Amino acid sequence: MPSLVEDDDLIRASQHGDVASLEILLNRHHDRIRAVCAKIVGRGADADDAAQMALIAIVKNLDAFDGRARFTTWSYRIATNAAIDELRRRNRRTATSIDDDDQHLQIATSGDLENSITAKLDIDDALHQLPEEFRIPVILRDLCGLDYDQIAEALELAPGTVRSRIARGRGKLADIIGPVTDGGNQSDTRGVQGHDDE
Amino acid sequence: MSSEAFTDEMLSAIIDDEADDKTIAAVNADPAARARLQQLRAAVSHVAAPIPVANPERRSASIAAALAAASPTTEVSSLAAARHVRETQPSRSRSAPRWLAVAAAAGFLIVTIPLLARFSGSDADETATTAAEEVDSASFGINDSGADTDTDAASDDAGDSSADAMDEVEGPADSDDAALLDTADQDAVEEAATAETDGFEPDAAADEQEATTVAPAETEKIRVVVSNLDILEEFITLGAVAAQLTAEQVIAEGVPAACVEPLADVDTATFDLVVLDDFGGTARLILVIFNQDGSTTALDAEDCAQLG
């Protein structure tokens, strides 16, 4: 299997105007960026809007990327900001038009069953019951796999604060989800392998 | 060490491989702590659960928009953007790549849609009215005085709706943009054409278009799609939705002359057409009017019917 071109090489080429390299870079990271956005804002058009905003912000700021942080860390920070912006836009919409909510409700209930269920799941998503200050560090840790220092850098927080918020966020989320039903007698093994748990 | 001594932060440290062996052993020896650790692991799994990937068309459009933003003043050279251009056969004189770049630079979703996508005259329902109210009162930031001036000059009947309204075109909930608009509710169009006898008759306008230009079904063009009105407002502010169409052009694209002509001097007025699509099965084609006083007005078929 051919080895992939490293991100660093793609970034350098992109910074020198190589649009093909930029396209590869964006394609490579789009899904991860969108996943972050979707976890923060919920699935649907908002997540796509946020992801698109993030991609454009990445492109526009790529010249300023100096490689001191990993590209993934840097891009997650941008995605997080884009998602937060999208949340704020959504909140403005919600605050300014209750009627608009009715409109979406009508759409959901008049759509096919699958879409309605999906919408319901989105609404009920336990993750979105977490306050933003806990949700985002947890997402960056457990979805993106960033370590505490990287998250601290991305969110401009102290590592200790990140550690605390992740723990509290997980705790709150665990309380929302409820007890684990399979006995809970698993002995601990080091590391979480969160991404392999699925 | 009792289980109460194990805080979530300590257990979370175990999950993150940051706890020492002594702590891990203590937790393993404590059923309650172990159970809580299991709960925390479940929470981690919940967060890490994969989510469905984006609609391929939207994914492609997002990447194309970002690529276009990378070189807004140069010819399109990227693969994704080139694909969009290649799939597009603009029937107007404006430059699609340049337009694509300008729009994308401001963060639009850009897709190709059939030229047949029309300013549908479906029946106004509560949803459309609600959306119109939202645009009018909250998110669109219309200069009411300017809009009213233009509209009132044409028709007192326009009243408060001189600002904005949305037309609704129902489509399949899971359809993509092109399909959604391509299969715009023909029943609604026909119904509106008959119901609004002296107002909004999109079919007639489309027929004129077909008679005088290329066959619309064979032609696609790039259209800006936004999923919510806040973004539309922002992009108008940024100038990515811009005064780039003449009255003649928007009429040729299916907006009835009865809608355009009363609003302003058709020789000097400028317009743009935008699709508002929340990807929930509803899409609306919006006529954006750039007024002489700098204000902006957005209209849909319902408004046009009132004007007519």
Q: Are B254 and B209 in contact (CB under 8 A)?
A: yes
Contact A115 B42 (CB under 8 A): no
The pLDDT score that the predictor gives to residue A167 is 96
Task: Kindly list the residues from chain B whose CB atom is less than 8 angstroms away from the CB atom of residue A39.
Answer: 47, 51
Contact: A43, B231; criterion CB under 8 Å:
no
| CA terminus-to-terminus distance, chain A | 26
Closest CA to A192 of B24, B25, B52, B31: B24
The backbone region for B159, taken as left when phi is positive above 0, alpha when psi lies in -120 to 50, beta otherwise, is left
Asked whether the beta carbons of residue B173 and residue A111 sit closer than 8 angstroms, the reply is yes
Which one, of B30, B34, B31, B37, lies nearest residue B9 by Cα? B37
Q: Are residues B125 and B251 in the same domain?
A: yes
Of B15, B30, B48, which residue constitutes the final position of a domain? B48
Q: Is A191 on the interface with B (CB under 8 A)?
A: yes
Mean pLDDT for the stretch of residues B71-76: 39
- Model confidence over A115-174: pLDDT tens digits? 434 443 444 468 888 888 999 999 999 988 889 998 998 888 999 999 999 999 999 999
Domain hosting residue B40, numbered range: 3-48
- B/e letters for A166-197, b = 16+ CB within 10 Å, e = fewer, are bbbbbbbbbeebeebeeebeeebeeebebeee
Among B28, B51, B127, select the one facing A188 at the smallest CB separation.
B28
Q: Which residue has the higher pLDDT, B85 or B166?
A: B85
Q: Calculate what percentage of chain B has a pLDDT beyond 70.
A: 37
Tokens of B61: 């459009």
CA distance A10 to A23: 9
Nearest to A191 by CA among B7, B35, B30, B18: B18
Domain identity same for B38 and B135: no
C-alpha neighbours within 13 Å on the C-beta side of residue A52: 32
Q: Which of B137, B10, B13, B42 is nearest to A174 (CA)?
A: B42
> Does B89 reside within a domain?
no
Task: Compute the count of residue pairs across chains A and B with CB atoms less than 8 Å apart.
Answer: 245
Minimal-distance CA residue of chain A relative to B282: A107
Residue B160 and residue B34 share a domain = no
Average pLDDT of chain A, as a whole number: 76
Considering chain B, what is the average pLDDT of its residues?
57
Question: CB distance from A164 to chain B under 8 Å?
Answer: yes
Nearest CA in chain A to B231: A89
pLDDT score recorded for residue B266: 65
Among the four given CATH numbers 1.10.10.10, 1.10.510.10, 3.40.50.720, 1.25.10.10, the one describing domain A114-177: 1.10.10.10
Structurally, how many domains does chain B consist of? 2
Is residue B121, in this structure, part of any structural domain at all? yes
DSSP letter string, B226-275: ESSHHHHHHHHHHTSS-S-EEHHHHHHTT--HHHHTTTS-TTT-EEEEEE
CA nearest B177: which of B72, B282, B25, B47?
B282
Indicate the fold that domain A1-96 takes in CATH: Rna Polymerase Sigma Factor; Chain: A (1.10.1740)
The distance in angstroms from the start CA to the end CA of chain B is: 81
Q: Distance between CA atoms of B2 and A156, rounded to whole angstroms?
A: 35
For residue A136, give the chain B residue with the closest CA: B47
Flag whether B78 is in a domain. Answer: no
Predicted TM-score (pTM) of this structure = 0.48
B105 lies within 8 A of chain A by CB: yes
Task: State whether B13 and A163 contact (CB < 8 Å).
Answer: yes
3-state SS track over chain A: CCCCCCHHHHHHHHHCCCHHHHHHHHHHHHHHHHHHHHHHHCCCHHHHHHHHHHHHHHHHHHHHCCCCCCHHHHHHHHHHHHHHHHHHHHHHHHHHCHHHHHHHHHHHHHCCHHHHHHHHHHHHCHHHHCCHHHHHHHHHHHCCCCCHHHHHHHHCCCHHHHHHHHHHHHHHHHHHHCCCCCCCCCCCCCCCCHHHCC
Name the closest residue on chain B to residue A26, using Cα atoms.
B63
Mean pLDDT computed over B229-254:
74
Residue B73 DSSP label? T
Both B38 and B175 in one domain: the answer is: no
Q: Are B110 and B221 in contact (CB under 8 A)?
A: no
> How confident is the model over B133-156, as a mean pLDDT?
30
For B18, the closest chain A residue by CA position comes to A191
Among A5-9, A181-185, B64-68, name the one with the lowest average pLDDT.
Answer: A181-185
What residues does each domain of chain A span?
A: 1-96, 114-177
pLDDT digits (tens, 9 = 90+) for A9-21: 999 999 988 888 9
What per-residue confidence (pLDDT) applies to B34?
93
CB spacing of A115 vs B134 below 8 angstroms: no
CB contact under 8 A, B24 and A59: no
Mean pLDDT of A37-62: 88
CA dihedral A165, A171, A176, A181 (to 10 degrees): 150
Q: What is the mean pLDDT of residues B160-186?
A: 29
Q: Is residue B60 part of a domain?
A: no
Backbone angles phi, psi at A65, to 5 degrees: -75, 120
Q: What is the rounded distance in angstroms from the CA atom of residue B287 to the CA atom of residue A38?
A: 31
For A111, which of B45, B134, B281 is closest by C-beta distance? B281
* Alpha-carbon gap: A68 to the closest alpha carbon of chain B (Å): 22
Tell me what pLDDT residue A29 has. Answer: 94
Candidate from A89, A103, A180 with C-beta closest to B230: A89
Burial of residue B98, with CB atoms counted within 10 A of its CB: 0-12 exposed, 13-18 middle, 19 or more buried: middle
Write out residues 275-304 of B within 8 Å (CB-CB) of A: 277-282
Span B7-22, average pLDDT: 93
In a domain, B139, yes or no: yes
In this structure, are B151 and B295 located in the same domain?
Answer: yes
For residue B251, is pLDDT > 80? yes
Q: Does residue B43 form part of some domain?
A: yes
Query: What is the maximum alpha-carbon separation in chain B?
Result: 86
Tell whether B21 and B139 lie within a shared domain.
Answer: no
B183 & B269 share domain: yes
Comparing CB atoms, the residue among A56, A138, A188 nearest residue B65 is: A56
Q: Do A177 and B9 touch (CB under 8 A)?
A: no
